[in-house]
Structure 1
Amino acid sequence: MDLGGIAKVPVISFSATSPSLRPRSPYFVQTGLSDDAQVGAIAAIVESFKWSQVVLIFEDSEFGYGIIPYLSNVFQEINIRISYKSLLPVSASSDFLLKELYKMMTMQTRVFVVQTSSDLGARLFLKAKEIGMMNEGYAWIITQTLMDVMYLMDSNVVEAMQGVIGVKPLIPKTKRLDTFEMRLKSKLMKDKTKTLDHPGFRQADLSVFGLWAYDTLWALAEAAEKVGRGREAKEVLDSSSDPFAVGVSESGPELLQAILGTRFEGISGKFQLADGKREASSFQILNVVGNGEREVAIWTPSSRGINFKTNNGTNFYSSSREIFKSSVIWPGGSTAVPRGWEVPVAGKKLRVGVPVKSGFTDFVRVERDKELNRTQVSGYYIDVFNSVMSALQYSVRYELVPFEKPDGSSAGTYNDLVYQVFLQNFDAAAGDISITANRSKYADFTLPFAEGGVFGIVPIAYEDVDNIWTFLKPLTKQLWLTSIVFFIFTGMAVWILEHRVSSAFRGPPSQHVGMILYFPFSTLVFAHRERIVSNFARLVVVVWMFVVLILNSTYTASLSSRLTVQRLKPAIKDVNQLIKNGDFVGCPEGSFIPDLLKEKGFQESKINTYKYPEDFHNALSNGSNNGGISAYFDGAPNTKIFLSKYCGKYTIGPSYRTDGFAFVFPRGSPLVADVSRAVIELTENGRILEIGNQGLGNEATCTGPDSTRLGSTSVKLQCFKGLFAITGGITGSCLLVFLVNYVYQNRTCLQTILDSKTTVWSKIVAICRHFDERDTCADPPRDPKEKIPVAEGGEVGSSSYISEVPADLLRISSNSSVVVPLNIEEQTVPV
């Protein structure tokens, strides 16, 4: 390649398939398919069987390395994890191969993708067969290099490779290929030596590389004809002592362009080059069975899927592995699709780490028998883990290993235990381990098997019914203020609507203010005596009395309940109160809760950790001011047990939501999905709840104060927003209609006041005086015989009456309070 680039001579190869070769020289042409063309077909196989991880086995050469980056990228796109990469020297010894195979045998992954030369691949599969890695449960995928030379391998190698899946470029069946096959077979039959070497020649024995070689030479011949090599060679001979070198050098670029532009239908399919390499084509998916291979599917680069062949030979698009189940024979002669992973063999068990804790051992308990030198792990969550693992469809051998120091104490926090799983010191972890964002960076969690949440436990306090302000407690401050505002608003609205038409709402300014404040409050006990004349005012009063009736009933019921029933309340209602007061708080030792409290705003110096429930109880009893704590935070299960043990002394305060308790496995572990499904199954059939009732059934049940009475019972504004909206809307509408009507009826007078050349304040005073005048047009008609009250000095509104004077014979002067009789003969009236 380097020499060709210097001399500008095309270097054409039909067998160098590594994709890393192409960028090194523009004069290098790959007429065979590059290895990166087959990664899509390999990824489609893995994706179809829903395998989650694979192992890559490749040789230490340019050929082996070239395909690895492309495989890594395509697996990453479909979320397939490469759990291990095995690099094999080209001349690897049998001992090296055995050591590497044994290493892979102890891993969980059972899907292997092999990219090696034929010689190394043959020795690899013989050793794999020898140690049992070609048995049921394993899946092997080989690339086109090994698959194409399968017919050349010894029978013992083919026997060792039974059940292997491989990919191979699809060679379309054409008339030209049939003709070539017949001519080649006839030629071989004439050579007795080759006939003995190939006693049963078949089309399958035609190597893809051989077909590519044939088409490559054909393309070169066509390119040479296009360049007109004969004529150019003659001209060079006349002018050069080294005609071959000069001729090739001068015609190299032109010949390169001619080769790249050559297109024809060859015996290996369509010959067409793009960017110096052959264009990608479809691939056969073959299964090694018997003495050779058989086609089970076809992959096309455009579909990203697999076209499976039915019995009648037609093709259809599908990615269902159900079709593969009936088409592929797997290692060991099995037709069952390999799961893709297994628990490590060679007698190794899963090491499941278990936290060592002092308090709340109902969930996880580690006990050491010193006489028998044996450690026993038990508890509710351990029973759940054992039940879940037993519910799997396959057997998993494991042992529970306490996370402890040699002296039996805890070896670290729960975060440390999860990190040990990340470091592969444990294969899993079980216990009361909460799911957190930080821990999920290092390990995978199954679905939660128990509820989450962090609850604050605070001492119980009782409401003081002897407080002098107890009568204000039934309603919240917001509801009190809103009610007062609407009382005043309603009184003002009624006064505005009645002032001009009703004598009961007239008088000096002090009487106006008193009427505005008095009238709505008098409706509380329905003690108002004022006559309502306006229909608008009547509507406002009716709606307001409905609101007052509900408010009054609610207040009476709430106050009666407070005075007759003792009520509980948390001593601390929210975290902000704790932080503001600078109170000390507590939490269990080794949990994630200290980090959570720091995130909420607590100072590290204000957070104390404890081991035993008794320590929590003593600290809460002392209080923050006496060397204790004001609140204790713990997970939901622990708080239930704590409250049942100290019934009637503490209650739930501030709380936070968490994602629950789950089992821990290394990142990418295939056990996560299966264990999660088992958790769902046991949750739905009630088995986990049954285990809890059995394991925690002996816990005391709290029969103290009713927890439903905890917290504030004051009636909130939210309950009356609808009522206030109704009365406010109706009252406002009535006022608006009344004011519009007033302006319309008195528009002439109001316009005169507004057009006067006085100050703005004088205009406002004049309008207010006009509004203050009585509207005589709104007086209801009176009975002619009705007695008119006359004041003792002649003022209207007095309790005295004019004797025997009909109302229609009197005229009331607008300028004085004198009552003058009209058309009265021989009768006098006191003036």
Structure 2
Amino acid sequence: MAKGGMHNAKTENVEVVKGTVGAIVDYSTRVGKEETVAMQMAVEDFYNLTKQQLLLIVKNLRGEAVQATLAARHLINKKQVQAILGPRSWEETSSVAEVGNQYDIPVISFADSCPSWATDRWPFLIEASPSKNLQMKAVAAIVQSWGWRRVNVIYEDIDSYANDITPHLYDALQEIGAQISHLTALPSLVAATLFSKELEKLKSEQCRVFIVHVSFPLAVSLFHIAKEMEMMEQGYVWIVTDSITSLVHSMDFPTISSMQGVLGVKSYHHEKSLKYQEFYQRFPDKFGLKYPEEMSHEPGNSALEAYDAIWTVALAMERGNISHQHLLDKLSVVDFDGVSGKIQFLDKRLAPANVFQIINVIGRSYQELGFWSDGTGFSASLDDTAPTNVSMRILRQCLWPGGSRVTPRGWDIPTVANPLVIGVPNSSINHGFVIVEYDSLTKSYNFSGFSVDVFKETVKHLPYSLSYNFTSFGGTFDELVEQVHLKKFDAVVGDIAILSKRYANADFTQPHMDSGLVLIVPIHSKSNRGWLFLKPFTKTMWFLTAFINVYNGFVIWMIERNYYSELKGSPLNQIGILLWLAFATLFSLQGEKLHSNLSRMATLVWLFVALILTQSYTANLTSMLTVAKLEPKVANIETLRNSNAAIGYSIKGFVKNYLVDVLHFNPNNVRNISNLEECAEGLKTGEIAGALLDAPAAKFFLAKYCKSFMATGPTFKFGGYGYAFPKGSPLIPDIDEALLKVFESGALKDLDEKLTASEKCVENESDNETVSLSPSSFVVLFLFTGGTSTVALAIYVVHSKCNMDNSMAEHKRIWLLMLMVLKYWRNKKRRFSRKVSHVETPRDSPMQHTGQI
């Protein structure tokens, strides 16, 4: 690195030996080979820039961790090194740190999982590799992105890997609501048969999401066997951490082919910096010359960290030979930009990595999907303008195992497991909800009822086939739910109340039936007679009766008004008489006072109808007066408690606790009820004054004993009835979605109607409520009387008009006749007068007298 060296110190012409540095690596691993080449490059670059020689002595572990302590002592005692670099694992680092602390020699560790107390115990320990604990949050973010609820974790059974699982991965998964289904620890030296055995166990379970946190050699063996067992096929999810992804560039073809579709979290270094690019260009040539057998010559994270570690020590030694303590102090305050990024220590620890690259193993290499940063989430790039999201769905499309582009749901029906064992309570008081019957012929149980039928219908709406077997359980409901936690049952189906205390043992689906606690008490009658006289008829019936009555009165008034002078007068007087006629005919027969046959006909029909109406009204009113009105003997739960009366409760234990702890009943006044018949008998005999039943039990009870008991007071709500599954079960989201389909399809409504129809009232008393009479019962009579009156009125109008016309014609003929007679006599008189005036006669003659006559 002749250009752009790591420090701007002045170049000296005289060669100076700065100091001696020891390194402990494992030549048998790719990491050890990259570290060796990178450290040698750093020594050369430092000399080319400063003309100061740094002696580097490398000790080989030969793949044996126990050699770390011997190598450290050899470097200190025989080679007089001033600082030791490496090794990689925490187990080896702790051994070397112990030796370095004894001789006051600084130890620069490459382990990325040192516990927080390490630098306090070994003051000469410096962590030169950034902690990658935050990568566990990145892994959890991937799990959250796709909605996976449970994961299997496979880790190497050594402290360095176990320390990352607890608490970092566990806490990260807890934050997103995910659970670790199985935690599998694999020893570093494991036989293939053990691999197969452990993977077979995981394959037999439902969970299909695997998080792998092991060393690279162990990962190679693991994925080879997983592929042979067909666990790298469609439906599986594999997520690996930096201990594997940091070497993905060096994988051979058999290894990379066994990991197709794997997602990985990889430490990220600022690859756009000039120092990184110069290092990246020169490294492959030097690495290829020294290790030509390696397929890939690209540098990994270990090479970058080793290169920067040499420069860290070289810069701390720049001013010549110094004491060990002084060297430690100088190492702690080193601050420069290395090829891996900013090199600055805080409390002897390099700043933790907070940016990780998300990769996807595809083909002969891997694809960079995007980035995850602590605090901002996922992004397609690290540009300030790039959008961020808590979900990795904004990144490039991922290729999953089996070559599928469809995101796996994270679980599946076990390939070798038995059908689900589902517990069903056989002690339910809600008989219609759970019915468990023993068949003596087949020597098996038959399971039915509303809750069971809803579950069967729900399973039909799942996108896959779910096999299961019901098993009867005779204990309490709390004990039944606890069986899920103890893994004796895979689920519980029945009228299981969703209670907060039961969440400690299981998770629940959404309720398939709302529920609550209802107070059932005996009934008694109480009179309320103020307006009872109006009840025999409906409002419409009263209105129609009054209308027909007034209409008939109008018809009679019209027909009879010409016969009575009292039917005439002022308009106000006429209205009063009309109304009197309307209602008088309803209560008395006045046919002898009526002059017209038409009015008699209308009155007769109306009296016939009125007789039927009054008799019907009287009968219905009598029935209402004799039937008792139902009222509860106890108004509410407070009245029952204050009276110190006994109260019953269903067999479900939480009801008793609710009565005592929440409603504050005296425990001595609380009675257990084993079935509905016992409840009814206790209420009738007065042994208990009321019963607090859950809503379904109350529904059945009131359907069966519909005449003697009723519900009163408020309903005390709780979570409803759901199905219980193990904590974090991946089945729950699918069951919830299928339940919604059952609700929306109307199947739940049909089952609920079937549930209600299954119970019939066993009490034979007549109905407590008498129905008011409506016009529909008398429509023919109303048409008969209304039609009769209308016909009478029409005949009267027509007849009156005819009489008027005839009378007018007769008068006209008389007047014409009179006019004709008058005209005749007038004309005759005129002719006679003219004749007499022309004849002369003596005064005394007889003719004169005759003319006068």
TM-score, L = length of structure 2? 0.63
Query: Higher Cα Rg: structure 1 or 2?
Result: 2
8 A Cα contact 1:296 1:309, kept in partner? no
8 A Cα contact 2:195 2:222, kept in partner? yes
Shift of 1:667: 2.2
1:73-112 mapped onto 2 (5 Å cutoff) = 73-112=171-210
Alignment of 1:648 with 2:648, yes or no, is: no
8 A Cα contact 2:485 2:726, kept in partner? yes
Alignment of 1:664 with 2:724, yes or no, is: yes
CA distances 1:406-454 after superposition (whole Å, capped 9, x unpaired): xxxxx21112211212222111111112222332332222221112122
Question: In structure 1, what is the equivalent of residue 324 of structure 2?
Answer: 252
Give 2:370's match in structure 1, choosing from 297, 306, 310: 297
Q: What is the alpha-carbon distance in structure 2 between the residues aligned to residue 198 and residue 602 of structure 1?
A: 80
Alignment of 1:115 with 2:115, yes or no, is: no
Structure 1 counterpart SS, 2:656: helix
Structure 2 counterpart SS, 1:601: coil
Give 1:133's match in structure 2, choosing from 217, 231, 237: 231
Shift of 1:15: 4.6
Q: What is the alpha-carbon distance in structure 1 between the residues aligned to residue 127 and residue 491 of structure 2?
A: 49
Question: In structure 2, what is the equivalent of residue 46 of structure 1?
Answer: 143
CA distances 1:774-830 after superposition (whole Å, capped 9, x unpaired): xxxxxxxxxxxxxxxxxxxxxxxxxxxxxxxxxxxxxxxxxxxxxxxxxxxxxxxxx
Shift of 1:356: 0.5
1:705-724 mapped onto 2 (5 Å cutoff) = 705=768
Shift of 1:46: 2.0
Shift of 1:314: 8.5
1:194-205 mapped onto 2 (5 Å cutoff) = 194-195=291-292, 197-198=293-294, 201=297, 205=298
For the structure 1 residues 37 and 253, does the alpha-carbon distance in structure 2 shift closer, same or farther, using more than 3 Å as the test?
farther
Structure 2 counterpart SS, 1:430: strand
CA distances 1:88-147 after superposition (whole Å, capped 9, x unpaired): 111122222222222222333322222211122212222222222222222111111111
Shift of 1:644: 2.0
Q: What is the alpha-carbon distance in structure 1 between the residues aligned to residue 392 and residue 304 of structure 2?
A: 32
1:418-817 mapped onto 2 (5 Å cutoff) = 418-463=481-526, 566-599=628-661, 600-624=663-687, 629-654=688-713, 655-700=715-760, 704-705=767-768
Structure 2 counterpart SS, 1:67: helix
Q: What is the alpha-carbon distance in structure 2 between the residues aligned to residue 108 and residue 612 of structure 1?
A: 39
For the structure 1 residues 704 and 187, does the alpha-carbon distance in structure 2 shift closer, same or farther, using more than 3 Å as the test?
same
Question: In structure 1, what is the equivalent of residue 282 of structure 2?
Answer: 183
Q: What is the alpha-carbon distance in structure 2 between the residues aligned to residue 561 and residue 437 of structure 1?
A: 52
Structure 2 counterpart SS, 1:352: strand
Report the number of matched residues.
577
Shift of 1:309: 4.8
CA distances 1:246-305 after superposition (whole Å, capped 9, x unpaired): x6xxx12222222222222222222222222222342111111112222111122342x0
Q: What is the alpha-carbon distance in structure 1 between the residues aligned to residue 482 and residue 194 of structure 2?
A: 33
CA distances 1:360-395 after superposition (whole Å, capped 9, x unpaired): 432211122221223211112111111122223333
Q: Which amino acid aligns with 2:421?
A: R
For the structure 1 residues 449 and 17, does the alpha-carbon distance in structure 2 shift closer, same or farther, using more than 3 Å as the test?
closer
Give 1:367's match in structure 2, choosing from 410, 421, 437: 437
Q: What is the alpha-carbon distance in structure 1 between the residues aligned to residue 504 and residue 742 of structure 2?
A: 27
Shift of 1:346: 1.1
Shift of 1:706: 5.0
8 A Cα contact 2:421 2:469, kept in partner? yes
Q: What is the alpha-carbon distance in structure 2 between the residues aligned to residue 578 and residue 378 of structure 1?
A: 36
Structure 2 counterpart SS, 1:76: helix
8 A Cα contact 2:509 2:735, kept in partner? yes
Shift of 1:315: 4.1
Question: In structure 1, what is the equivalent of residue 152 of structure 2?
Answer: 55
8 A Cα contact 1:465 1:563, kept in partner? no
Question: In structure 1, what is the equivalent of residue 468 of structure 2?
Answer: 398
Which ranges of structure 2 fall in alignment gaps of 5 or more residues? Answer: 1-96, 532-621, 773-853
For the structure 1 residues 266 and 619, does the alpha-carbon distance in structure 2 shift closer, same or farther, using more than 3 Å as the test?
same
8 A Cα contact 1:588 1:634, kept in partner? yes
Q: What is the alpha-carbon distance in structure 2 between the residues aligned to residue 55 and residue 200 of structure 1?
A: 32
Q: Which amino acid aligns with 1:259?
A: L
Question: In structure 2, what is the equivalent of residue 163 of structure 1?
Answer: 261
8 A Cα contact 1:280 1:301, kept in partner? no
8 A Cα contact 1:18 1:63, kept in partner? yes
Q: Which stretch shows the higher mean deviation, 282-291 or 270-279? A: 270-279
8 A Cα contact 1:18 1:62, kept in partner? no
Which ranges of structure 1 fall in alignment gaps of 5 or more residues? Answer: 233-246, 404-410, 472-559, 710-831
1:206-225 mapped onto 2 (5 Å cutoff) = 206-225=299-318
For the structure 1 residues 704 and 134, does the alpha-carbon distance in structure 2 shift closer, same or farther, using more than 3 Å as the test?
farther
CA distances 1:142-186 after superposition (whole Å, capped 9, x unpaired): 111111122334432222111111122212223333333333344
Q: What is the alpha-carbon distance in structure 1 between the residues aligned to residue 232 and residue 629 of structure 2?
A: 73
For the structure 1 residues 299 and 370, does the alpha-carbon distance in structure 2 shift closer, same or farther, using more than 3 Å as the test?
same
Shift of 1:561: 14
Q: What is the alpha-carbon distance in structure 2 between the residues aligned to residue 88 and residue 689 of structure 1?
A: 52
Question: In structure 2, what is the equivalent of residue 274 of structure 1?
Answer: 346
CA distances 1:31-51 after superposition (whole Å, capped 9, x unpaired): 222232422322222222232
Give 2:390's match in structure 1, choosing from 303, 310, 319: 319
1:236-247 mapped onto 2 (5 Å cutoff) = none
Question: In structure 2, what is the equivalent of residue 527 of structure 1?
Answer: none
CA distances 1:293-330 after superposition (whole Å, capped 9, x unpaired): 22111122342x011259x9994312334335x52111
TM-score, L = length of structure 1? 0.64
1:336-375 mapped onto 2 (5 Å cutoff) = 336-357=406-427, 360-375=430-445
Q: Which amino acid aligns with 1:136?
A: Q
Structure 1 counterpart SS, 2:235: coil
For the structure 1 residues 330 and 314, does the alpha-carbon distance in structure 2 shift closer, same or farther, using more than 3 Å as the test?
farther
Structure 1 counterpart SS, 2:265: strand
Q: What is the alpha-carbon distance in structure 2 between the residues aligned to residue 416 and residue 704 of structure 1?
A: 43
Question: In structure 2, what is the equivalent of residue 815 of structure 1?
Answer: none
Q: Which amino acid aligns with 2:261?
A: G
8 A Cα contact 2:627 2:769, kept in partner? no
Q: What is the alpha-carbon distance in structure 2 between the residues aligned to residue 449 and residue 563 of structure 1?
A: 44
Q: What is the alpha-carbon distance in structure 2 between the residues aligned to residue 259 and residue 708 of structure 1?
A: 98
Q: What is the alpha-carbon distance in structure 1 between the residues aligned to residue 337 and residue 429 of structure 2?
A: 79
8 A Cα contact 2:283 2:299, kept in partner? no
Q: Which stretch shows the higher mean deviation, 106-115 or 427-436? A: 106-115
Q: Percent identity?
A: 33
8 A Cα contact 2:627 2:768, kept in partner? no
8 A Cα contact 2:360 2:398, kept in partner? yes
Q: What is the alpha-carbon distance in structure 1 between the residues aligned to residue 114 and residue 227 of structure 2?
A: 29
8 A Cα contact 1:19 1:34, kept in partner? no
8 A Cα contact 2:428 2:434, kept in partner? no
For the structure 1 residues 562 and 376, does the alpha-carbon distance in structure 2 shift closer, same or farther, using more than 3 Å as the test?
closer
8 A Cα contact 2:399 2:405, kept in partner? yes
Q: Which amino acid aligns with 2:374?
A: P
Structure 2 counterpart SS, 1:673: helix
Give 1:9's match in structure 2, choosing from 84, 105, 108: 105
For the structure 1 residues 194 and 697, does the alpha-carbon distance in structure 2 shift closer, same or farther, using more than 3 Å as the test?
same
Q: What is the alpha-carbon distance in structure 2 between the residues aligned to residue 188 and residue 597 of structure 1?
A: 78
Q: What is the alpha-carbon distance in structure 1 between the residues aligned to residue 303 and residue 102 of structure 2?
A: 29
Q: Which stretch shows the higher mean deviation, 58-67 or 13-22? A: 13-22
Q: Which amino acid aligns with 2:370?
A: A
Shift of 1:591: 4.6
Q: Which amino acid aligns with 2:109?
A: S
For the structure 1 residues 699 and 666, does the alpha-carbon distance in structure 2 shift closer, same or farther, using more than 3 Å as the test?
same
8 A Cα contact 2:204 2:417, kept in partner? no
8 A Cα contact 2:519 2:637, kept in partner? no
